Amino acid sequence: MQPLSPTLGSAGRPSRHSSQGKRFGSQYGSVHSSTKTTNIYIKGLTQNTTDETLYHMCMSYGNIVSSKAIIDQKTGTCKGYGFVMYENLEQSQAAIDDLNSKGYQVSFAKESFSARLKNLQDAHSTNIYMSNLPLDMSESQLEELFHPYEIVSNRILRDQSGVSRGVGFARMSDRDSALSIIQKFNGVVLPGSHLPLQVRFADSMAQKKLKGQTTKKRVWARGEFSGMVMFIRHLTTHLHQ
């Protein structure tokens, strides 16, 4: 393995627009539910609705943190729904009650999967997860790469034949060291790998559970869909006989 001299990859950050303390264009989930959040989902908007007109439409119910009209990228017009976030639940509820009485379909917005995942982070964890490691990297070389930060333990995952999967874990001596490693190495391309290194905090038990539940739901949904397709095919064949 060649000496490690990482090459930093490029990274871009999305811009945010604000006007006199108002926030337009924040991204939210796309379905509604009874989840108690100050973010509300509004269906029944006109095609010419924008972030700003949505803001002015809903400002009488309370202090708005952000507003977002969902725009069709092909036509440039509103898809008919959007999201508004208020400072507290009372303001959100007032908007829901009044807008529903005016013919809109309004409810509390569903928290996105990424937001739910983020809320389940372990704020004290010192465990980091890495992917796109060079396939010839060893645990000792990983320690060398992260020096002078102290690694308590680390492990690179391998298949049954002992070949690296390019994925590893490391437990750092403290939280600050883990944060420094993530900030310094995430997005770096290491010699022996053509992909940027992905470094983040390892999933907490709660995050693993949520991901597992989501995977099971997707598998179940695929199974239900496949079963329906088979039923339709069988029915079609029977009708043609």
> Could you tell me if 131 and 73 lie in one domain?
no
For the stretch 222-236, pLDDT in tens is 666 566 656 566 656
| Number of domains into which the chain is organized | 2
What pLDDT shows up at residue 115? 72
> Could you tell me if 77 and 152 lie in one domain?
no
Task: For the chain, give the percent of residues with pLDDT over 70.
Answer: 73
User: Which range marks the domain in which residue 68 is found?
Assistant: 39-110
| Tokens 């017009």 -> residue | 77
- Rounded average pLDDT over 20-36: 46
| DSSP-derived 3-state class of residue 37 | coil
Q: Which is nearest to 1 in space by CA: 164, 153, 131, 182?
A: 164
Please tell me the total number of residues recorded for the chain in this structure: 241
> Could you tell me if 143 and 104 lie in one domain?
no
Estimate to the nearest angstrom the gap between the alpha carbon of 126 and the chain centroid. 21
> Could you tell me if 93 and 127 lie in one domain?
no
> Could you tell me if 177 and 102 lie in one domain?
no
Strands (E), the chain: 7-8, 17-19, 22-24, 39-43, 64-71, 78-86, 105-108, 127-131, 151-158, 164-172, 188-189, 198-201
What pLDDT shows up at residue 114? 74
